[in-house]
Structure 1
Amino acid sequence: MAVKKIEHIGIMVKNIEVSVAFYTEVLGLVHTYTMTHTNGVIRLAFLAFPGHEETEIELVEGYNDSLPAEGKVHHIALTVDDLDAEVERIKGLPVKLRDTEITTLPNGARYFFFYGPDGEILELFQPGQPL
């Protein structure tokens, strides 16, 4: 298996600017970039931990901001070296898939969602270039 680390934790938010300000001003994270998803609706902001940029918080605006507090964490992303190979491996296992195809973001990052045994959303992620 080629999972290397936790890539990011995706948190759904109502207002990305307000949330970026909170995570930077209150928690001291560094805002690395914001982009609009390929679908043109969802906005994503990425924040890193000073000195530990290898794991990020991803803020997701425009997906679903009306969930209860217990449902705000949307997914856990795991970095992989070869997304194509890992997706083929996952598709060969008795795993419930959320996606049927790999999605590519404007910065070249690629991802694929599937479900864990209790319905948790897991993402295999191959990084692109920061914008």
Structure 2
Amino acid sequence: MAKIDHIGIAVKSIASARSLYEALGMRVLNMETVEHEQVRTAMIPVDESRIELLEPTAEDSPVGRFLAKRGEGLHHIALHVDDISTTLESLKSKGIRLVSEDIQIGAGGHLYFFIHPSSAGGVLVEICQDSISDV
């Protein structure tokens, strides 16, 4: 059974964006750069879920292009699953369009892949699982 892992928000600057969350009494944690995605991330715990701030490290990165086209705002919703490989194969067999058919390693060592918005009501959906060392 999937649960909401995090909500990704594209921002021009984590340093600027974090002030709102800190004013709400929240803590910005785990700042990290994911080189292959050309993005800097910061996680903000919210009960059992998180908000992920996404700052591009290059204008031509996926988040950089998103900001240029749409501006700051909701980038994706991430669902946590217990078995990412089985979930990936199940979605493929059902003809669900994926951004990539490969499982990637992201911030914090988490495993992930994305479902294309055309198969998810216009929303970019990330499927993720804890890092291999956490399993």
| Structure 1 and Structure 2 fold alike (TM over 0.5) | yes
In structure 2, relative to structure 1, the CA distance for the partners of 1:40 and 1:98 (3 Å cut) is closer
- Show structure 1 runs of 5+ residues with no match: none
Matches within 5 A, 1:1-131: 2-3=1-2, 5-25=3-23, 27-39=24-36, 41-49=38-46, 52=47, 54-62=48-56, 63-64=63-64, 65-68=67-70, 72-105=73-106, 107-115=108-116, 116-128=119-131
In terms of fraction of residues, the more strand-rich structure is: 1
TM-score between both structures, scaled by the size of structure 1: 0.82
In terms of fraction of residues, the more helix-rich structure is: 2
1:84 aligns to what SS in structure 2?
helix
Q: State the structure with bigger RCO (CA 8 A, min sep 6), 1 or 2.
A: 1
Structure 1 counterpart of 2:43, which letter?
F
Please give the root-mean-square deviation of Cα atoms over the aligned residues, in Å. Answer: 2.1
In structure 2, relative to structure 1, the CA distance for the partners of 1:11 and 1:40 (3 Å cut) is closer
CA distance in 1, matches of 2:94, 2:38: 32
Task: State which drifts further: 38-47 or 88-97.
Answer: 38-47
TM-score between both structures, scaled by the size of structure 2: 0.80
Q: How far off its partner does 1:110 sit?
A: 0.6
